[in-house]
Amino acid sequence: MTLIGLISDVHAAPAPLAEAFSIFEKAGVDQVLCAGDIAGYMDEPESTIELLQAHDCRSVIGNHDLLYLDHHEDERDNTAVAFLKSLPAFYQTTVEGKSLYMVHAQPPDGCHGGIKLLDKHGALMADRVELWTQRLQAFDYDVLIVGHTHQVFIETLGNMLVVNPGSSVFNNSCAILSLPAMTVELFALSGKTVLKTWNWGEHVIYGK
């Protein structure tokens, strides 16, 4: 059995990220994956990246990471720039005989758009499930890990398990994937409940 810690959309906030790593260490995870958006919103990208590097976290690039690079690319001594430049658009591997693919928003290499399955209250929308089941039909992997939408879900679409662990800072969440069992356990962070859906533009933060 292999345990994989899952995080996403950490948005330059090291405190909830550190808590996620503490949960992973206690659980004895073998690897940690981050589905992008390491930068953006908060203001501690360097400390956040130091944590990711210290725990050998495999990451992909997100739209906020690209935006950070656009604004800071000329800063040659900026360690965050060097790290973000090194990130791939997607990551794929095979673990315990199960094929896994990770991308920030949607495959094969999208940083925008994203897989949205939940409404603003965090309820699953049947039409969205049907839509994405069709769109991903030809994508032949056992597990797909995504982020970007600030939605938390663990859903089987067709023959593929699709997981969005949510934003560690906004959804207050991280997850552990167990392979080859294909099970996922969700964990709440920062002493808060997991918000299934989080939207920056909402005056009220919805979720359950």
HEC-encoded secondary structure of the chain? CEEEEEEECCCCCHHHHHHHHHHHHHHCCCEEEECCCCCCCCCCHHHHHHHHHHCCCEECCCHHHHHHHHHHCCCCCCHHHHHHHCCCCEEEEEECCEEEEEECCECCCECCCCCCCECCCCCECHHHHHHHHHHCCCCCCCEEECCCCCECEEEEECCEEEEECCECCCCCEEEEEEECCCEEEEEECCCCCCCCECCCCCCCCCCC
- Are 208 and 171 in contact by the 8 Å Cβ rule? The answer is no
Cα distances (angstroms) measured from residue 61 to each of 5, 29, 65, 87, 206: 17, 22, 6, 5, 27
Residue 77: count of CB within 10 angstroms of its CB = 6
The superfamily CATH assigns to domain 2-188 is: Metallo-dependent phosphatases (3.60.21.10)
pLDDT given for residue 204 in this prediction:
38
- Are 21 and 52 in contact by the 8 Å Cβ rule? The answer is no
Both tokens of 41, joined, read 């919103």
Rounded CA-CA distance 57/11 in Å is 15
Cα distances (angstroms) measured from residue 73 to each of 79, 145, 194: 11, 28, 35
pLDDT given for residue 6 in this prediction:
98
Residue-level length of the chain: 208
Residue 130: count of CB within 10 angstroms of its CB = 11
Q: Facing residues of 155 across strands?
A: 162
pLDDT given for residue 78 in this prediction:
85
> Among residues 59, 58, 6, 51, which one has the least CA distance to residue 171?
6
Please list the pLDDT of the chain residue by residue as tens digits (208 residues). Answer: 999 999 999 999 999 999 999 999 999 999 999 999 999 999 999 999 999 999 999 999 999 999 999 998 787 778 899 999 999 999 999 999 999 999 999 999 999 999 999 999 999 999 999 999 999 999 999 999 999 999 999 999 999 999 999 999 999 999 999 999 999 999 999 999 999 999 866 533 333 2
